[in-house]
Amino acid sequence: MTELELKISQLDPERIPVHVAMIMDGNGRWAKSHGYIRSDGHAEGVSTVHRVTKLSSDLGIKYLTLYAFSTENWNRPKDEVDTLMYLIGWAIERELPELLANNVRIVLLGDIERIPEDARQRLFYARNATAHCTGLQLNMCLSYSSRWEITEAVRKIAYLAAEGKLDPKDITENTISDNLTTAGIPDPDLLIRTGGEYRISNYLLWQIAYSELYFTPALWPEFSDEEYVEALLDFQKRERRFGMTSDQVKHTN
Ligand code: IPE
Ligand code: IPE
Ligand code: MG
């Protein structure tokens, strides 16, 4: 048995998280430490996306949400942004046959209109081609930030109220959730951030209200399958209390 198989065998199949979100950080530092340019780190990071997607699908996780490019990332040097956009389009096209074979559905979250035409067309193609898939749902957050998303939701809700279609008295938490890009997707059970930073960087702020957080110093290109399963094992050891007491949670389980 390999180390990976051993770790997988320790997982409780009944308590696999439904939704795992990831902040894929550390590509630039990985490249620098190997004497490469930053963009080489992004290219290397694509293989981790491939592995993590396959393992999530194999383990029966229903939703995997990856932070691939933030609203703030538009402020990076033009060369790096151009390479990232090229890589995203190229990678999605290359991965499509395997995504289809594994029954993975691609969903795009973010201000996709800002993505350059060429990459955008490839993304739309992959999204449409996998729309019928019923296995893992892979949410790719592109040109995404949580404050952007919440601002858009507020605008939509305000229009509904102004048009008389929604009485402000009837606004509930569900009204907000239903107007976010993640409408219909259960909140993440587990959020993993690689790259050693202890911050959220404008990611899924509403949705992670009760998510379990896992931070690792591993840089994204070297985030291994073993460590992913380690994060899942760690998640399974935790008690999610949602504001209640430990005794209450034990009795409702
Ligand atoms: C994450 O790696 C990828 C993106 C933000 C697109 P970084 O590029 O942020 O890598 P570091 O944090 O500089 O090492
Ligand atoms: C967060 O990483 C965004 C993505 C992983 C796409 P950053 O590297 O942009 O985050 P900060 O700027 O260090 O907070
Ligand atoms: Mg970073």
The number of the ligand 2 atom at minimal distance from the alpha carbon of 73 is 9
Residue ranges of the chain whose pLDDT lies below 70: 253
Return the pLDDT at 251. Answer: 83
Q: How many CB atoms lie within 10 A of CB 119?
A: 22
User: Which structure tokens are listed for 149?
Assistant: 């998303």
Provide, rounded to the nearest whole percent, the portion of the chain with pLDDT above 70: 100
Q: Ligand 1 centre and the CA of 53: distance in Å? A: 19
CB 24 within 8 A of CB 49: yes
Residue 136 CA to ligand 2 center (angstroms) comes to 25
55-81 tens-digit pLDDT: 999 999 999 999 999 999 999 999 999
Report pLDDT for 219.
98
Report the C-alpha gap between 80 and 22 in whole angstroms. 21
Q: Angle of helix 38-59 relative to helix 78-101, nearest 10 degrees?
A: 20
Atom in ligand 1 nearest the alpha carbon of residue 68: 6
Residue 253's pLDDT is what? Answer: 61
Residues 6+ apart with CB under 8 A from 14: none
Query: What type of residue is 206?
Result: W
